[in-house]
Chains A and B, each alone.
Chain A
Amino acid sequence: QLQLQESGPGLVKPSETLSLTCTVSGGSISSSTYYWGWIRQPPGKGLEWIGIIFYSGSTYYNPSLKSRLTISVDTSKNQFSLKLSSVIAADTAVYYCARGLKTVNWFDPWGQGTLVTVSS
């Protein structure tokens, strides 16, 4: 079945760029039916939607993160990536990648999540 796995550094310094990759296995990222998303969860808090990307490269971003955010897709590697620049301590969170269904907007499955801590 489809599986997603996040990877990237667990520690990022303030003002630097957070970079994560999500590898999709068990299915193709090149689907016009689905999109691929990032969601984060600060410690002890709720879910925050970061943004989504279609295999064509079209994106939708959280307005509050848009100025610092880039989401990209690499169909040859069946991966999509997240870059968040100028990070601060408030960006510390578990970052999840997930597949979403176009139009009806639910997420399934999710990756296991990866904790990224912003600290010097």
Chain B
Amino acid sequence: QSVLTQPPSVSAAPGQKVTISCSGSSSNIGNNYVSWYQQFPGTAPKLLIYENDKRPSGIPDRFSGSKSGTSATLGITGLQTGDEADYYCGTWDSSLSAVVFGGGTKLTVL
């Protein structure tokens, strides 16, 4: 059971938009920055969004992040088949003094 809650899977058609939610509490998302990671099968996770809504160099602006209260959202527009991957949110939990991750969401581009 992960501290952060994500939907196990989401799907959408190519060209469409999808959002992935990440729900937590005041001890984690509510008072700390959220990051998002993209992971393709057999490869290491890659930083996609940091500090709630910032994109590292090289990440297309089709990817966006937002945070409101104790929840965060990853948005992906103009979906491509190459976006099919697992997506994880992560943040610091001040009560646990630990980094916590969501359980991950598998994105399928139909």
Residues of A in contact with B (beta carbons under 8 Å apart): 37, 39, 46-49, 52, 60-63, 96, 100-101, 104-113
Contacts and interface: CB of A to CB of B under 8 A. Distances in A.
Given A105-B35, A108-B47, A111-B44, 10 more contacts: A39-B45, A47-B37, A47-B101, A49-B90, A49-B101, A52-B99, A60-B97, A106-B90, A110-B44, A113-B44
Nearest to A111: B44
Given A46-B2, A46-B88, A96-B44, A105 B32 contact: yes
A30 to B, nearest CB: 22
Given A46-B2, A46-B101, A52-B99, A112 B44 contact: yes
Given A46-B2, A60-B98, A108 B50 contact: yes
Interface residues of B, number: 26
A46 B98 contact: no
B45 A96 contact: yes
Nearest to B35: A106
B100 A110 contact: no
Contact of B90 (A60, A107, A111): A107
Contacts of A111: 44
Interface in B75-103: 88, 90-92, 96-103
A68 to B, nearest CB: 15
Nearest to A97: B44
B45 A110 contact: yes
Nearest to A108: B47
